[in-house]
Amino acid sequence: MRLSRSSTVVLSAALLLAASLPSAFAADADAAATPASPSTGSETDDAPTIEIFGKRRTSPITPELLQRLGGIEGAREWVGMMTDNMRLSYPLRQKLLRFQTPEQRADLDQLLLDTMLGMPLDVQKSTVEKVERLELTEEEFNMITEAVMETCDESSLSFRDCNRILASIRPVGLYARGF
């Protein structure tokens, strides 16, 4: 299912609204932060959890979605495509100048990949600090959402899979925004 440009903008606005109202999702975040016991057999048993930026979260990336991405290496390529799409926007390209060397770019991609997959962070503290100093505007935050949606379209991922990816990288976006 392909979305029209106007549907993508509406979705972006809805996601931005959801991201700017964290109290509306506090109960969900608290519920996700408590891992299910092994005897319950609930869906969260297989979902990886991660402690990122001081909070424990459950990754919305399912094993099936990871398989559709082509495994971890496919997800790594997908993240690279996403950051390429982010750099197509002049304002984002200017913000991402702190990540211009191949090593810095690899660190940013690794941070996004680790967050997306719910894995322990395998990046330097300086990378996390650079993300914090991005201070994205609302418009730039929306541009990142559009870059994610474009990458999903290029990868022929479903709307549902794309929403899961957006939700999985949300902690990095919240950390980087300045509004």
pLDDT in tens, the chain (179 residues): 454 544 544 444 444 434 443 333 333 333 333 333 333 333 444 544 545 555 555 668 899 999 999 999 999 999 999 999 999 999 999 999 999 999 999 999 999 999 998 887 777 788 888 998 999 999 999 999 999 999 999 999 999 999 999 999 988 888 888 87
Q: Minimal CA–CA distance to 131: which of 110, 160, 151?
A: 110
| CATH for 99 | 1.10.490.10
Q: How many domains, in total, are found in the chain?
A: 1
pLDDT at site 4: 53
Domain that holds residue 138: 5-35+44-176
pLDDT at site 54: 55
At a CB cut-off of 8 Å and minimum separation 6, what does 164 contact? 60, 61, 62, 65
